[in-house]
Amino acid sequence: MPAKNFKYKKSEYVRPSVQLSHVDLDLKIYDDRVVGRERLLLKPIKDISTVELDVQDLEIGDINLVDPEGMEIPLIWLYIKKENSLRIVLPREFKTSEEIVLEINAVCRPTDNILEGLYFDTTPPGAPPQIMSQCQQWGFQRIMPTVDDCTAKCTWKTRLEASNRYTHLISNGDVLRETNPDGVPVPLPDDPSRMAITYLNSIPMPPYLFIAAAGTWDVLADSVTTDLGREIRLEYLVPPGKIESAHIPMQITKDCVLWQSRHLSYEYERECYRTICMEKSNFGGMENAGNTTIITEAALIDDWTVDARLVYAHSVIIHEYEHNHCGGDVTMETPFDMWLNEAYTVTVERDYVREKFGFELIRLSEIDSIRAPLNGPLAMEEGGKTGRIVREGFNHPDDVVDGVTYVKAPEVLGMLRSLIGDEKYEKAISLYFTRYNGGNADTEDFLNCFRETADIDLNSFLHEWLFTAGYPELRGTYSYSPDKRRLVVAVSQLRHGRGRYFTIPFRISGVDAGGRVMESVNKLLVLDSEYSEFVFEDVPFEPEFLDWNSGEAFYGTFTDEIATRETLVKTVKFSPFIIGRVEAMRTLRDIAMKNMMDDLAPPSEFVKLFREILDDASLPDGIKASLLTISDEMLDRSFLPFTAERNAAARKLSSVVAKTCNEQLLDVFERVTVAPENEELASAIPRRSLCDVVSKLLAAAAGEREVEALVQYFEEGAAISDKLYAASAVNSTDSVIRHEIMNKLRDICKDHVAAYGGYLRVLASSPHNDVFEAITSEEKSADFRIEHPSHSRSLYGGMAVNNAQLWTTRGIDWAGETLLRLADINEYTALNVVSAFTFVLKMNEPLRSLVVDMLAELKRRVSAVRTPSLYSRISQILGN
């Protein structure tokens, strides 16, 4: 996207003309509004006679200048709504040496669906309205006028006043003991129905990390002492009655604190680290300097937590905790530098969850997220959305919260780590955190730490990967000469996106007939041109096959040009590189999928191999699940636009394979659906993922015995994920029992936000055409709330990947109507749904015209002002 199309451009970013040094804030919370008064201490960076503050959707009251004697001088101001700007006229020019004290009154009105600034979260039964805040990036300006900039790091004194029916009033910092000696809110002397609490935050903090919350929670309190003897109080604030569900996450939090301190020598500076459950958020969590908010469905772990959320809970807890360090201690300079905050934090998160759940399984899910057809960064780039990590601009700061920032950027950081080695990487990171501790740092500051530490020139690596869009399409081949005992490996790169060739660290390993890595062929190479040959000398015999960098950081695509079906089968069977095995199986699956599209039988070796994998007792469950997965995703990205065709092929292939192996499938199913006693989470999750894969195949076989086995699994499976996998499989068959199973599933799930989300996804994934009636009926039920991001994300996001029904006339009509309704309620979810249509212009007719008409009509009806990101996304998809 050309830079001129952005509302906010990096080239136009200017540092504010005032530096905020302290905020003295008073927020009076009522059921329908929050009345705010603040004193801002500002230092002019240049001589000024007006102050410009950021403000959005506030009712502005009196604004005064407070002179050194405490006298208040009323000021004239102008609120330019279109620019979200408040221009305050000072009575005279102020010099850089002076301090300006402004007192500002304003009122904000929280809503149910604008999840920025202060908003209404889900209120527990009988409690006063639950108020939550989300300030990143520009949410604070929806609470009070401010300098809403990452560099506005200042100290804070915050008083919150609200009804005494709340259990908690939360903000950043420590409780001021003069006003609140017991550390809790005290009743107002003149109105005992209300109470107040004041927090002092003496560690400078930018407005995007601010939190104000008034809510009703139960608390699980604990503490952890690091190896250095530092004691940190831990609080976990959960919905009333949910304390039991906080015990496991509390253990994870403790483990994270210790892990961080041992692995990264990071010590948390505040007395208390608080985790707060929130229900409604477009994101999984938000750091808020010592007051992490996490969506309830990931923050609580109990019988209703689905497996994907169990892993995610570990990720989000470590992620948000790390942000105290990366983000809090060292803060990005502008939203354009957010990539580095997230790239580093995600890298830490990946290291942690790999340790907890095993490297291979987590790495496979990372690879999946690179390739994800809807919102993966490769798909975004192929769909014409920019893939530049350091952005030139955006329409809304949330636009930066995407696959490029959270998936591509950490992958690039991973390649940088491979390139310079672990030791230099850690040195550079430690230099960064030492040098900028307490301040701000931008992209160049971050990169300079690497440039200074590495002993190679990094400029070309950094330039192509960070400042241009695109990715390399690699192809590899080799030749072996027995006379010269020489292996020549040739790798070429086709560059997608404009620029020079990428610099790519790439490990090549030869594998012998015994499945061992050959010492003579095992090296990290660096490819930095269109074509390179790498010579390995003294190689005693030809490798059976090569492993091409599997398991290492890499962003792009790779094709093994010398692979034959025979060598791929060998790779699947005995490569010592587990990820290489899965990739080889996926390549074979691609061949089978293409056969299906051409109405041919799948290659016989694919079916044979499938049976062998089913029987192989040595394979861990999670890896077996990955090897046996048949889905409509393909490695060959030229098939990306042909979603309906891929889906039909995958269903056909599943059915052929399942019918051939049904006895074996039933045998495996009988064994794998039984949970061993005292099973650890790290074994239960991969075991159940195998149950899921086998369930889908049994459903594809669609015989009576298979349905019976699935129904039994539904009835007897102990975990909520068992129920969801079983119901999803039954619901995809033609059996009449599917409605009954779905009703039972609904009853089990409806009262638990995580489980209900799981149910909605199962409902939306049905391949039957009654899925539309099912969605409509769910929308009308008392349990479903369209403004609840988890509800809408699950139901509509689920339907957006239902490739069996979305690509029908009804499916496309459904999308048009739903997107229109959703646009003004939750633009973020609408963006997710509209991604399904990214490749419309490359689709076959008649689908292409149907979708283009739907999107063109939608573009006419959505507002470019209220929903700029959605509007520009539709324009971009339509190529206009």
- Which residues contact Zn ion by CB under 5 A? 342, 345
SS3 for 570? helix
Minimal distance, residue 754 CB to Zn ion, in Å: 21
* Cβ count within 10 A of residue 98: 13
Minimal distance, residue 67 CB to Zn ion, in Å: 42
* Cβ count within 10 A of residue 297: 24
Minimal distance, residue 212 CB to Zn ion, in Å: 20
CB of 326 or CB of 726, closer to Zn ion = 326
Cα dist from 460 to 468, 845, 864, whole Å: 11, 43, 38
- DSSP string covering 189-239: TTEEEEEEEEEEEEEEE-GGG--EEEE--EEEEEEEE-TT--EEEEEEEES
Minimal distance, residue 661 CB to Zn ion, in Å: 43
CB of 338 or CB of 858, closer to Zn ion = 338
> Cα-Cα-Cα-Cα dihedral of 352, 354, 355, 358, to 10°?
160
- Determine the residue type at 228: L
Minimal distance, residue 283 CB to Zn ion, in Å: 8
Minimal distance, residue 286 CB to Zn ion, in Å: 8
**CA–CA gap between residue 754 and residue 386 (Å, rounded):** 33
CB of 316 or CB of 630, closer to Zn ion = 316
CB of 346 or CB of 819, closer to Zn ion = 346
* Residues whose CB falls within 8 Å of the CB of residue 599, separated by 6 or more in sequence, listed in order: none
Query: Which helix or strand (DSSP H or E) is residue 669 part of?
Result: helix 662-672
CA 519, 521, 526 angle in degrees (round to 5)? 130
Minimal distance, residue 330 CB to Zn ion, in Å: 14
Please return the burial class of 423, using the count of CB atoms within 10 Å of its CB with bins 0-12, 13-18 and 19+: exposed
| Assigned token pair, 428 | 């550079």
**CA–CA gap between residue 234 and residue 436 (Å, rounded):** 27
Q: Where are the beta strands (DSSP E) in 280-369?
A: 285-286, 291-295, 331-332
CB of 345 or CB of 647, closer to Zn ion = 345
Rg, C-alpha atoms of the chain: 28
CB of 348 or CB of 489, closer to Zn ion = 348
CB of 196 or CB of 286, closer to Zn ion = 286
Q: Which residue has the tokens 């086998």?
A: 694
Q: Which residue has the tokens 């993922």?
A: 689
Using alpha carbons, select from 408, 307, 410 the residue that is nearest to residue 357.
307
Using alpha carbons, select from 336, 366, 372 the residue that is nearest to residue 838.
372
Minimal distance, residue 190 CB to Zn ion, in Å: 43
Cα dist from 685 to 230, 314, 514, 621, 673, whole Å: 34, 13, 31, 9, 12
- Determine the residue type at 244: E
DSSP at 111 = B
Minimal distance, residue 342 CB to Zn ion, in Å: 5
Minimal distance, residue 360 CB to Zn ion, in Å: 25
Minimal distance, residue 382 CB to Zn ion, in Å: 25
Minimal distance, residue 584 CB to Zn ion, in Å: 34
Q: Distance between the two ends of the chain, CA-based, in angstroms?
A: 11
Using alpha carbons, select from 466, 634, 467 the residue that is nearest to residue 557.
634
* Residues whose CB falls within 8 Å of the CB of residue 64, separated by 6 or more in sequence, listed in order: 72, 73, 74, 75, 102, 103
| Assigned token pair, 866 | 């209220």
DSSP at 284 = S
CB of 375 or CB of 805, closer to Zn ion = 375
CB of 344 or CB of 642, closer to Zn ion = 344
Minimal distance, residue 441 CB to Zn ion, in Å: 16
CB of 100 or CB of 264, closer to Zn ion = 264
Minimal distance, residue 246 CB to Zn ion, in Å: 22
Residue 292 contacts residue 209 (beta carbons within 8 Å): no
- Determine the residue type at 820: L
Sign of the four-CA dihedral 812, 816, 818, 819? positive
Minimal distance, residue 392 CB to Zn ion, in Å: 22
| Assigned token pair, 249 | 């996450």
* Residues whose CB falls within 8 Å of the CB of residue 34, separated by 6 or more in sequence, listed in order: 27, 28, 107, 108, 109, 110, 118, 131, 143
In a 13 Å sphere around the CA of 526, the CA atoms on its Cβ side amount to 15
CB of 305 or CB of 345, closer to Zn ion = 345
CB of 348 or CB of 469, closer to Zn ion = 348
Minimal distance, residue 323 CB to Zn ion, in Å: 6
CB of 340 or CB of 719, closer to Zn ion = 340
CB of 345 or CB of 792, closer to Zn ion = 345
DSSP at 653 = H
- DSSP string covering 728-778: HHHHTS--THHHHHHHHHHHHHTTSHHHHHHHHHHHHT--STTHHHHHHHH
CB of 342 or CB of 645, closer to Zn ion = 342
Query: Which helix or strand (DSSP H or E) is residue 322 part of?
Result: helix 307-322
CB of 345 or CB of 468, closer to Zn ion = 345
Minimal distance, residue 251 CB to Zn ion, in Å: 22
CB of 115 or CB of 877, closer to Zn ion = 115
Minimal distance, residue 742 CB to Zn ion, in Å: 36
* Cβ count within 10 A of residue 233: 13
Residue 128 contacts residue 166 (beta carbons within 8 Å): yes
CA 839, 642, 795 angle in degrees (round to 5)? 75
Count of residues for the chain? 880
CB of 336 or CB of 478, closer to Zn ion = 336
